Structure 1
Amino acid sequence: MVSLTPLRHTPLRHAPLASIRRRARSPLAVLEALATPHGLDRYLELVNPMLTVRELRAEVTGVRRTAGPSVTLTLRPTRQWRGFAAGQFVTIAVDIDGVRRSRCYSPACSEHRADGQLELTVKAHPDGVVSNWLYANATPGLVVGLSQADGVFALPTPRPERVLLISGGSGVTPVMSMLRTLVDEGHAGEIVFLHYGNTEADVAYLPELRAIAAAHANVRLVLGYTAQAAGGDLHGLFDETHLADAAPWYAEAPAYLCGPPPLMAAVRDQYAAKGIEDLLHTEEFLAAPLAVPDADATGAVRFGDTLVENNGATLLEQAEDAGLSPAYGCRMGICFSCTQVKKSGCTKNVLTGDVHTDPDTEIQLCISVPVGDVDIDL
């Protein structure tokens, strides 16, 4: 006879719901795993470059070239785009001679643009690799890499009763966005748009600026020409009298400034002299020359397999001098595109003067100089 032993009933042990969710993989995650090592977007772009899962991109839908030389691009972002606040910047990436290059540009359109597209006006600077390439090669249908908007150069909420917008040259784009945004919002407060150009022919958006001022009694356009004696409202380089003429109330209202380094410095000095620097908000679009003490230019810098003698320039410049092509977007420490790991050594931040000695830390190549021997993971 076989004796049967009753089975002991053991309660079922249920895994926590969070654990089940961690183990479960979404269909998208499964597809991306199958696409390894290239990623799903690498395959989708073979069908349609604008069909992406993760990457934010944009298609050029309009191109307009003007004197200067400058090119105005209209861009349609992919579905990942989250919009922007007037004054912020985006990073555009393009492939040039097989190398991915990225640069920062400020949208010039209103943040309330009805079709959701972006407008960028890019001036082709003499040494600008990306700006010159876009001016020469951008056509409708071109697909570029695009970042989400970033930056703190933006109008406050609620909007101020009075606002002074100051720009020079191609620094007009972020403040143009602010002006268009305020107009779209039906802002009734006083707006002064003070712009500097060498001559009238150098003023971007001039017909539209004049049309806005003519159509809105609360908008005053003030043009300053630095190399043209006739026409315009102001002449010569910026000084305090220009502020007093353009906006007599400037010491009591916020101002937003973007332009070339000499203009930026002159306006900052004036606001500091008046003790009202807290009212001035600025955005750089060109890097000012960085002064690096010669005494710090000792030792050698290693970029991966490349070893160079330290010449005192920024790490970005030294890497480029060595024939390397590290990523960067602004050269001013704003966008963090050039961030790399410093494996060892001492570096100095040329903007703040701070010295960093800890190993295995992230630094920005464009605003860091080596102090003695430095090893960069590049």
Structure 2
Amino acid sequence: MTSAALRSRAWKLLEMVTTPLLPSDYLDLVSPLRAGADLRGRIEAVHPETGAAATVVIRPGRGWRGHVAGQYVRIGVDVDGVRLWRSYSITSPTNRRDGRITVTVKAVPDGRVSNHLVHRATPGTLVQLDQATGDFVLPGAEPAKVLFLTAGSGITPVMGMLRDTGLDDVVMVHCAPRPQDVIFRDELHGLVAEGKLRLVEVHTDTDGRLDLARLSGLVPDWAERETWACGPGGLLDAVEEHWAEHGAPERLHTERFRPATVLTGDGGGDGGRAGGGGTVRFSTTGKAVDADGTTPLLDVGEEAGVLMPSGCRMGICFGCVTPLTAGAVRDLRTGEITEAAPGVLIQTCVSAAAGPCDIER
């Protein structure tokens, strides 16, 4: 008998002994980060950055394939007995010697996962991981002149780039309410002192929102710079319009944490029905809740306590795809109406109720 056959026979015997569990279930308890296991990570530290943000240090399992600076990772976190998935930019350099990765999380109002990670996560906690993904990255040939335009937690993917590269001519314009709200502020000012960065801080509590008409005064050569911008949707909408008006859209790269959405009633040609919302029935669990026409069904389900798969939460990864079994939904990005039919699937993170509807959750 070959060694492979012996191993297979031994494994089957173990399965008989451990039924109804599998041997791998016991291995998960002893070595959850081992090669061949579902990809997990162990939280090793949580370092406060501001009053509302913290950097989480994670030791990934052996199946981790690494990342490119600027990419994000989906993390599955158990909160109050429910596993919730969120995506966070990786802020550690790609060549960190100890093999750990970091994500820097800003707690948002009513954010179940962000508040848990910032305020309650403890070393030793296991989390689920997906492989890193995302195309908000620097090109292979680094540009001679770079502008980073960020606001709030939009600084996180850019910080991963700054820590990973040797760019020669970098300007950052960053917006935050107050100086103490600037994530990584001490490190940024250290880069300024070393001559590796020119930093422009816009404190919106006192300076008001960034007016892009002022950009030429802040960064006179902005149009010559390859630009990476990340922040709230309103800022990115204005940035994209500004670059297009000045004939430089090809030099602009943006990353949104939420999809751009059309206003209620816009698009789709469906008037009141498109924005009216309705009762959403989750057929598997039997729950039913009233929803407006602007809240993603993913958020509606989570708020109702329904286990909803998710990933990027902006219509890219298709981790939230769910059958629509009755009624109609509206795509928040385009206003397009999708009606139920056999085999119809919807992305719950970018779809809202367009009248009463049933989804298979």
TM-score (norm 2): 0.84
* Match 1:75 to one of 58, 64, 80: 58
Confirm whether residue 269 of structure 1 aligns to residue 241 of structure 2: yes
Q: Deviations over 1:63-97 (max 9, x none)?
A: 21233221211111111111111111111111111
CA distance in 2, matches of 1:258, 1:109: 17
Give 3-state SS (helix, strand or coil) of 1:51's partner: coil
Deviation of 1:255 after TM superposition, in Å, equals 0.9
Confirm whether residue 239 of structure 1 aligns to residue 211 of structure 2: yes
Confirm whether residue 352 of structure 1 aligns to residue 334 of structure 2: yes
CA distance in 2, matches of 1:269, 1:39: 56
On the 8 A contact 2:86/2:313 being kept in 1, the answer is no
Aligned counterpart, 1:16: none
Kindly report which structure 2 residues correspond to 1:1-378, keeping only aligned pairs within 5 A, or say none: 27=8, 34=15, 41-51=24-34, 53-183=36-166, 187-188=167-168, 190-217=169-196, 219-228=197-206, 235-286=207-258, 291-293=263-265, 294-296=272-274, 297=276, 301-304=280-283, 305-308=286-289, 311-312=292-293, 313-320=295-302, 322-357=304-339, 358-372=341-355, 374-378=357-361
CA distance in 1, matches of 2:35, 2:171: 42
CA distance in 2, matches of 1:375, 1:37: 35
Q: Deviations over 1:166-210 (max 9, x none)?
A: 111111110111111123xxx33x211211111111111111111
Deviation of 1:316 after TM superposition, in Å, equals 2.2
On the 8 A contact 1:45/1:52 being kept in 2, the answer is no
On the 8 A contact 2:259/2:350 being kept in 1, the answer is no
On the 8 A contact 1:238/1:267 being kept in 2, the answer is no
On the 8 A contact 1:41/1:55 being kept in 2, the answer is no
Cα pair distance change 1:290/1:340, threshold 3 Å: same
On the 8 A contact 2:50/2:182 being kept in 1, the answer is no
On the 8 A contact 2:192/2:198 being kept in 1, the answer is yes
Give 3-state SS (helix, strand or coil) of 1:80's partner: coil
Percent identical across equivalent pairs? 39
CA distance in 2, matches of 1:46, 1:372: 46
On the 8 A contact 1:332/1:367 being kept in 2, the answer is yes
With 298-307 and 104-113 compared, the bigger mean Cα shift is at: 298-307
On the 8 A contact 1:57/1:146 being kept in 2, the answer is yes
What is the CA RMSD across the aligned residues, in angstroms? 3.0
CA distance in 2, matches of 1:310, 1:202: 34
Cα pair distance change 1:160/1:65, threshold 3 Å: same
Greater C-alpha radius of gyration? 1
Gap regions ≥5 residues in structure 1 = 1-23, 229-234
Deviation of 1:323 after TM superposition, in Å, equals 4.2
Gap regions ≥5 residues in structure 2 = 266-271
CA distance in 2, matches of 1:28, 1:372: 56
On the 8 A contact 2:259/2:315 being kept in 1, the answer is no
Deviation of 1:27 after TM superposition, in Å, equals 4.5
CA distance in 2, matches of 1:28, 1:199: 64
CA distance in 2, matches of 1:136, 1:72: 11
CA distance in 2, matches of 1:352, 1:288: 9
Deviation of 1:236 after TM superposition, in Å, equals 3.1
Aligned residues: 344
Q: Deviations over 1:235-256 (max 9, x none)?
A: 4321234422343222233211
CA distance in 1, matches of 2:246, 2:6: 61
CA distance in 2, matches of 1:133, 1:319: 19
Cα pair distance change 1:147/1:28, threshold 3 Å: farther
With 142-151 and 302-311 compared, the bigger mean Cα shift is at: 302-311
Q: Deviations over 1:353-376 (max 9, x none)?
A: 344445313321011134455432
Give 3-state SS (helix, strand or coil) of 1:209's partner: helix
Cα pair distance change 1:31/1:282, threshold 3 Å: farther
With 140-149 and 312-321 compared, the bigger mean Cα shift is at: 312-321
Report the AA paired with residue 324 of structure 1.
Answer: V
Report the AA paired with residue 47 of structure 1.
Answer: V
On the 8 A contact 2:277/2:354 being kept in 1, the answer is yes
TM-score (norm 1): 0.80
CA distance in 2, matches of 1:282, 1:37: 49
